[in-house]
Structure 1
Amino acid sequence: MADVGVRPARRADAAAVAEIQVRAWRHGYRELLPAGVLDQVTGGAAVEQWREKWAEAATAPPSPRHRLLVAVASDLVVGFAAHGPAEDADLDPAGTAEVITLLVDPLHTRAGHGSRLLAATADLLREDGCATLVTWVFEDDEVTRTFLGSAGWAPDGTARTLDMGEPVRQIRLHTDISDTGA
């Protein structure tokens, strides 16, 4: 088995993270998002913007609780997760954090990288005093919902509709990461 793990992202990882994001979105969201929107957020100009965004997330996060982690296999970045304090008005950001994104390169799925990223995220946030994690997923994204469900995540009853030229519905999932819930 290859040498695998999770570590904090570095500026040098930004290009790999952006490329993984684009490949994962093109692969996983092609049935979930309007084609024009997907083309816009995964096109050449967008890739450069994502690189800049991820370089900033790695080197100058907005708070100490915002982190970007990467999954590596034999020194190759194969996935990433970003998290920060929960921003939804109905949540307490002191005890609740949000997984903003968690993506694994489609060429490296089903190898445990997503699970390692989730575990590392939960460990860091538990150390920060968080007891609950939330994330938003597309309602029709059965792959992500099944993956997170197998890790103990469930819908919390909150939903939102994004205007992407046509309505795209998301649901919020949550899980308990407290010492008693872990």
Structure 2
Amino acid sequence: MGHAPVMTWTVRRAGPGDVGELARINCESWQHSARGVVPDVLLDRMLPESYLNGWRRWVRLPDPDGVFVAEDEAGRLGSYCTVAEARDDDDIHADLRTGELIGVHADPLHMGTGAGRAVHDAALDHLAEQGFRYAVLWVLKDDWTTRSFYAHHGWRHDGATKDHAAGDQRVPVVRYGRFLNARKRNRPPSGFRFPAFG
């Protein structure tokens, strides 16, 4: 099986007109990448229409929250990335303003085409522009494909784990972190200790 060809993607903020596609990609991405990690019965019950109201709220949230989409030359969405201020006090870095990458999700047909990387990079740039200097994310512990994507883009597992509710099930997730002011190399400022959570 060969790699998908890299495509040209235009990244922009999501708007109300994207809600249907965001909901579709949300479901199809989970059903593709979490298969074998999350119980099939939960994935098979995911329907885009169940997510429309949540996406209507998300695309209207003010900065620093943001939803970024990658669209191809025909205007079709290939991926999205959602970011916000860190939502849990335990995720806040002791010394740096902390943002959270809530997720990068790609249409399974566009995985490996650069769509995920495009929205990932734009979302991290957005957090940095909003004054965040550190970011965290949570990912399914046994989703090695997604973990590899994040590791390839400079994220490092910091040792934190917890259980995440998936319907009536609990699945383990792990936390990754990275510095935003040194995104290309993921190196902290000189003399800085990595990381100290409060």
TM (norm. structure 2) is 0.82
Aligned partner of 1:174 in structure 2 is 177
Alignment of 1:28-177 (within 5 A): 28-40=33-45, 42-43=46-47, 47-58=48-59, 60-61=60-61, 63-74=62-73, 75-92=75-92, 95-164=97-166, 165-177=168-180
Kindly indicate whether the alpha-carbon contact (under 8 Å) linking 1:82 and 1:101 is maintained by their aligned counterparts in 2: yes
Deviations 1:8-39 (A, max 9, x none): 00111110111111111111111110122223
| Alpha-carbon shift at residue 3 of structure 1 (Å) | 4.5
Q: Bigger shift: 154-163 or 118-127? A: 154-163
Q: How far apart, CA to CA, are the structure 2 residues paired with 1:49 and 1:70?
A: 20
Structure 2: how far apart are the matches of 1:53 and 1:166?
A: 21
1:56-99: CA deviation from partner (whole Å, max 9, x where unpaired): 211x21x4211111011111111101110001212438711111
Give deviations 1:111-130, integer Å, cap 9, x for gaps: 11111111101111111111
Please give the root-mean-square deviation of Cα atoms over the aligned residues, in Å: 1.9
Task: Please state how far the C-alpha of 1:179 moved relative to its aligned partner.
Answer: 4.7
Q: For the residues of structure 2 that align with 1:8 and 1:151, how far apart are their CA atoms?
A: 21
Q: After the TM superposition, list the runs of 4 or more consecutive aligned residues in structure 1 that deviate by more than 3 angstroms.
A: 91-94, 163-167, 179-182
Question: Structure 2 regions of 5+ residues with no counterpart?
Answer: 1-5, 187-198
Identical columns (%) = 27
Q: Deviations over 1:131-182 (max 9, x none)?
A: 1111100000101110110111011111101244443100011111115866
User: Residue 22 of structure 2 aligns with which residue?
Assistant: 17
Q: Secondary structure at the match of 1:90?
A: helix
1:12, 1:55 within 8 Å by CA — same for their partners in 2? no
Q: Residues 110 and 3 from structure 1, CA distance in 2 versus in 1: closer, same or farther, beyond 3 angstroms?
A: closer
Could you say if the C-alpha distance between residues 166 and 92 of structure 1 is closer, same or farther in structure 2, counting changes exceeding 3 Å? closer
Runs of 5+ consecutive residues of structure 1 not aligned to the other structure: none
Tell me the secondary structure at the aligned position of residue 147 of structure 1.
Answer: helix
TM-score of the aligned structures, taking structure 1 as reference length: 0.88
Amino acid at match of 1:129: G
For this pair of structures, how many residues does the alignment match? 176
Q: Distance in 2 between matches of 1:95 and 1:82?
A: 18
